[in-house]
Structure 1
Amino acid sequence: MRRTPARRPTMKDIARRAGVSESAVSFALNDRPGVSEATRARVRRVAEQLGWQPSAAARALSGEGSATVGLVLARPARTLGVESFFLQLVSGVQEALAGRRLGLLFQVVEDIDAECAVYRRWWAERRVDGLLVVDPRAADPRPALLDGLGLPAVVIGAPAGPEPDGPAHGAISNLWADDTGAMASVVGHLHGLGHRRITHIAGLPELAHTRRRMACLRAEAARRGLPDVTSVTTDYSDAQGAEATRRALAAPHPPTAIVYDNDVMAVAGLSVAAERGVPVPGELSLVAWDDSVLCRSTHPALTSLVRDTSAFGRRAAEELIALLDGGPARRVQDATPRLATRESTAPPGARPPRPSGA
């Protein structure tokens, strides 16, 4: 059932609760003379109790007709500067927003609770007109929160659960790609090459797409009779990707193939293989989830899952613009990432190709 959006408290509400005039509230909250210190303190206490926030100064200066879209990332900040996915995603988002003269308000926070707090503050301050929401999670509190606030939003990525087309929240659209199908294509490729021991170095364990990829890997392993397949989670950083690779290669029966959930960890894993003297792809095949210039510039070049991430971001922003224009909430499936096979995957024990001219 569609909730009635919450109403932002106003100066009139504060005046009624505090038993003063609206002008007295304005004087007190704007730190202007004309009211006693006792009245000023009472008004501010009531404002805090009601959760009142002033409209953002920038929004007031630009006028009510100037819309702004918000994007909050609850990821470790140290992992974002080197990961190309979000840079490409934001590039596509900005391309679509610029065509409509819409602003983008961006913030990085530590966790999901902080992200929800930002949404409440932005709503109270009338700072944003709509939101792009990334990284769906198990038991995700954000859709219900945004539905209650009445903020239009587009969730980027399939929500948790077996079906991405469950009941919709009122003004929340969803743009998603098939992580399960993508992982199945990776396992099928490695199995076809003869790999039976596969390690998946995954991302944050609370994310829905991490869980979906891990579940698909287990299901494909069971279906194909693969005896030694495992997933380990990380924070997506090169440091944790490298450490997970070292642990995997030091095991009594190390994997013959490793699948990484981003390009940064895959390049770090390639470096670890080199430092340990493990030839790629002669003894170890590597696959990266999201293709980038890093994957194409290494030697050997990394087999990767390819999609147009900038276009993915552009489509997400276009879906949000459609909501802001009064359109209905939708669920839209994007193209499944396709596997681009390069020199980092080969049958286990295969000799690496001879350099040209050798």
Structure 2
Amino acid sequence: MDSRVTIRDVAARAGVSAGAVSLALNDRPGVSAVTRRRIAEAARELGWAPNLAARSLAQGDRVHTIGMALTRDAAGTVLDAVHMALIGGIESVLTERPCSLLLHIAPDLDTEIALYKQWWQSGKVNGSVLVGVTSDDPRIEPVHRLGMPVVAVAPPQLSGPFPAVWHDDAMAMAEAVRYLSILGHRRIAHVSGPVTLGQSIVRAEAFAATAAELGLNGTRSAHTGLSAHEGARATRALLDRADRPTAIVYDNDLMAVAGLAMAGELGLRVPEDVSLVAWDDSDLCRITRPALSALSYDPFAFGAEVARCLLELLDDGRARSRVSDAPVLVPRGTTGPPART
């Protein structure tokens, strides 16, 4: 695969864009006759051969669709603002070609695996995006056996044979813990997602490592299903302790908002009695009172990068894994020095 000639190689030889090569080699309008001949000559010289998946996208002789399945948990979690922005980013790139996104909500992982098999064998999709990757993910092996082009939204250590697109969540978590430590917090808690979820694994490991590096002996972690209800319950359990944390980092905005409400129910002031930091800087974080400090990134731009990775895979038969910028901490009204005792 490393020696395979791509349309980018042809474009470089002919001195044109990859888009012009795609138009010319698929006999579509938009390229002059002179340029078309130069591209054809460059392709012959390099021994270029078409990638069938990419050709189907360009010619429109088959359904040209990217599949994406989301498995809801037992609580029936619906799409949140972050998921919607991610999907919007994917579609923004796909619409640059005659290509669309097929989105499906599956009730469980077995159904999701069967769906990929049906999509691929029926020719309904040209490739797929795999999200919500976990450790020892049961989808990796059967989906790989299909031979379908797939990009995993996951850290590379969990993406198996698929190209990975991920955030540097470890760096972001380390930044949050160091920030809270600088404010004077020594007892910091992490309300995490499921223990097997890829992003939660990375964040939990970074939380523990940074706390150890800083000598914070009073840290605690609580795993949840990422719902508001479980976030509130975990917050109550933490704040009911005699040695309650003075700061909490949440793995999403829903749990952080629920945690803010729970702190109020318990008669605690934010941030004087407890500081709160949310992951996923959504509108929810900005409209709460006080506004939530948050780890912020652009899920729309991230979705666009996922789509570009998959199109690269379709065009070239391979794609490089890539990491996006680490989320950035945005301090707001829910973080401050701990109250003196």
User: Among the aligned pairs, what percent are the same residue?
Assistant: 41
Does residue 295 (structure 1) correspond to residue 288 (structure 2)? The answer is no
Asked if 1 retains the 8 angstrom alpha-carbon contact of 2:156 and 2:163, the reply is no
**Structure-2 residue corresponding to 1:70:** 67
Equivalent residue runs for 1:260-275 within 5 Å: 260-275=250-265
Match of 1:102 among 99, 106, 110: 99
The equivalent residue for 1:305 is 295
Cross-structure match for 2:133: 136
C-alpha displacement of 1:76: 2.0
CA contact (8 A) 1:137 1:160 kept: no
Match of 1:236 in 2: 226
User: How far, CA to CA, are the matches of 2:62 and 2:115 in structure 1?
Assistant: 22
> How far 1:150 sits from its partner (Å)?
1.1
* 1:63 shift after superposition: 6.7
SS at match of 2:235: helix
Letter in 1 for 2:228: D
Superposed displacement of residue 79, structure 1: 6.0
Note closer, same or farther for the CA distance 1:257–1:209 as it changes in structure 2 (3 Å cut): same
Instruction: Determine the structure 2 residue equivalent to 1:245.
Output: 235
Q: Which amino acid aligns with 1:278?
A: L
Larger Rg: 1
Structure 2, unaligned runs of 5 or more: 2-58
Question: Aligned letter for 1:123?
Answer: W
CA distance in 2, matches of 1:137, 1:294: 27
**What corresponds to 1:35 in structure 2?**
none
Read off the aligned partner of 2:150 and give its amino acid letter.
Answer: A
Alignment of 1:196-215 (within 5 A): 196-215=186-205
Q: Indicate whether 1:285 and 2:268 are aligned.
A: no
Could you tell me the TM-score, scaled by structure 1's length? 0.75
Distance 1:241 1:181, change over 3 A: same
Please show how residues 168-247 of structure 1 align to structure 2 within 5 Å.
169=161, 172-247=162-237
Q: How far, CA to CA, are the matches of 1:238 and 1:82 in structure 2?
A: 14
Contact 1:267–1:294, Cα closer than 8 Å, also in 2: yes
TM-score by length of 2: 0.78
Instruction: Specify which of 88, 92, 100 is matched with residue 89 of structure 2.
Output: 92
Q: Distance in 2 between matches of 1:158 and 1:284?
A: 31
Alpha-carbon shift at residue 302 of structure 1 (Å)? 0.8
Counterpart residue number, 1:122: 119
In 2: Cα distance, 1:79 partner to 1:259 partner = 24
Instruction: Decide whether the 8 Å contact of 1:79 with 1:237 is kept in 2.
Output: no
Per-residue CA deviations over 1:202-257 (Å, capped at 9, x if unaligned) read: 11221111111111111111111111111111111111111111111111211101
> Aligned partners of 1:115 and 1:188: how far apart in 2?
39
When residues 82 and 198 of structure 1 are mapped into structure 2, their CA distance, relative to the original with a 3 A threshold, is farther
Shift of 1:130: 0.4
**8 Å Cα contact 1:79/1:235 also seen in 2:** no
2:311 aligned with 1:328, yes or no? no
- Is contact 1:72-1:107 (8 Å) kept? yes
